[in-house]
Amino acid sequence: MNFGMMPQQYKYDRVKPPKSILDLPRYLKELLGGFFSRLFYIFGIVWRSGPAFLILMCFIALFEGLMPVFGALLTSQVLNELQVVITESALGREFGKAAFWSSMVLLLLIAFFTYKILEKVVSRLSNAVTRLAGERVVRHVKIEIMNKAQSLDLSAFDLPAFYEKLEKCQPRGRQPTDPYFKFHV
């Protein structure tokens, strides 16, 4: 177990850009390999601290990704129905208030405002779940550090190298979960 420290293979060194088109596969392998290894490492930390949070965060990210598509479709339907109303009005057909109250435009506008409210609720839920997951990850990493420190010999606490390793594995707020779950379209 690493107890909060990333393995040596996860160094954050910049990948050297390709020198030619033949060097492109190496570049992509190193670039994407490093990204996915860090991503799965973070998924593992979040999963060990609470699998329900990881599942919930994935569902919220998927829902937030699909919401704009639904919003665009709903908006297009509202505009199409308004175009029908304006066209009928321009042709001289009467379109009174009674016809508006029973028209599709009113139902679509109600659906659109419901969509906007749901979008705000999901956004706030996403922020709350991300914050709670970050707190759980920080607590989980601190507990792993304490368990590791408990298993060490007291002479290890006198070594400067030990304190360097301890400093590297200290959690820094909610960073472990933030960058990978803020997918916005």
Mean pLDDT of 93-119: 81
Is the residue at 103 inside a domain?
Answer: yes
Question: What's the predicted TM-score (pTM) here?
Answer: 0.62
Residue 51 lies in a domain: yes
63, part of any domain: yes
pLDDT of residue 83: 85
Q: Evaluate if residue 183 carries a pLDDT over 80.
A: no
Residue 21: inside a domain = yes
The number of domains in the chain is 1
Indicate whether 146 belongs to any domain: yes
Q: What average pLDDT does the segment 58-64 reach?
A: 93
Please report whether residue 185 resides in a domain.
no
Residue 133: Cβ-neighbour burial (10 angstroms; 0-12, 13-18, 19+):
buried
For residue 94, being part of any structural domain is answered with yes
Residue 115, domain member (yes or no)? yes
Domain of residue 95, residue span: 8-168
